[in-house]
Amino acid sequence: MTKRTFTTLKDIVLASASPRRRQFLSDMGIAFRIRPSVAPESLPLPGEAPEAYVMRAASAKVAEVAAHETNAVIIGADTIVVLDGAILGKPGSPEHSLDMLRRLSGAAHTVFTACVVHIPDAPAESTVAASRVVMGRHDDALLKAYIRTGEPADKAGSYAVQGLGAFLIEEIQGSWTSVVGLPVSHLVRILLKHGCIAPNPGDTP
């Protein structure tokens, strides 16, 4: 019995070094190459909506890789955490992590993930998924213990729902995969639409 859900029909490049994004594609049996984008990290423009900012960031990543991979399908994504209209990026220090986690503790926030797919000789396809996330209330001792694990250091909002930080989260309304970093259902629809992948026929009916 096959374990692959999809057969890959086109050359696909993932413009990301994210282990979780790689895992999502690999688990579905999608063959791909990795070429992390080296586009500089952009900052939000004054008055720019979170959805617009995250889409701009993801588009920049894809454009940088597409300039070198002209005949490939390029997948790029970007994820941000938004609390009361403020974008919480990656922490600059353990103290910054603690400040962010204190603000998120006991509150609801929104995780936006943009996914952009560059398809040669066709318009790019894109989507932004928004998920509401509720974090439980936790005291400083627990938050500091989590920060000492090192996991929050390179995570937007200073936590990883797919990792050790899972204990922080009480509720998710929306796409769990988008909170992790890739709106998988949206991406699959785009790849199927453009003939980049197909259901794996397998060896049995």
Answer yes or no: 78 catalytic: yes
Place of tokens 């791909």: 32
What is the C-alpha to C-alpha distance for residues 141 and 81, in angstroms, rounded to an integer? 23
Report the SS3 class of residue 32. coil
Angle between helices 94-104 and 140-148 (to 10 degrees): 130
The one catalytic residue among 78, 99, 154, 203: 78
What is the C-alpha to C-alpha distance for residues 148 and 98, in angstroms, rounded to an integer? 10
Catalytic residues: 78
